[in-house]
Amino acid sequence: MSRKTLLIVLFVSLAVNLFLVGGVIGGLVVGQRLRPDRPPMARMNQPVLAAAQALDPEKAKAFRTMLRGQGMEARTTMRQTREARAQAWRTLGAEPFDPAVTKQRLADIRDREAGTRGEIDDRIVDFAAELTPVERQKLATALAEPPARGRNQERGPRSPR
């Protein structure tokens, strides 16, 4: 292979590698930007979804389906409450500033969030009412346990830094 051919192959290889590295980095950046747009219910209900593992496969599937259906309904409300909270925080800089109005808006937002979470809890209880006592006990134990944290589970709670 001539020196000229080797030099061309080297530059082509460099260009392809730079293209691939740029694509990976670009994907990571775009992925991080989209991450906050994920529905909050997906993050919030991970321990609840994990509790389905305590049930037999058929019941676990029904439990997950019920939660996903409820989560779809709750997503819109939770998105609206995030937007309303941002608007309420903006009133801090408004003139004239009325702390009582801002506090009331934030309280209303908390009530809506609690109501939405309460609906999810109610659906779980309704689902559990249709289970056998043994299945209900398994689900109760799984729901009451904190989610597993992988290898660090044995270490206990994180210490503040």
Query: pLDDT digits over 126-140, tens only?
Result: 988 998 899 888 888
Q: What pLDDT does 108 receive? A: 92
Q: What pLDDT does 107 receive? A: 93
Q: What pLDDT does 35 receive? A: 57
Instruction: Let me know how long the chain is.
Output: 161
CA–CA dist 147, 155 (Å, integer): 14
C-alpha R_g of the chain: 25
Distant-in-sequence, close-in-space partners of 113: CB < 8 Å, separation ≥ 6: 77, 78, 81
Q: What pLDDT does 111 receive? A: 92
- Per the prediction, the chain carries an average pLDDT of 79
CA–CA dist 83, 112 (Å, integer): 13
DSSP state of 2: -
Q: Closest Cα partner for 55 from 44, 43, 37, 67?
A: 67
Q: What pLDDT does 34 receive? A: 65
pTM: predicted TM-score of the whole model, two decimal places: 0.55
Residue type at 90 in one-letter notation: R
Residue ranges in the chain whose pLDDT is less than 50: 37-44, 150-161
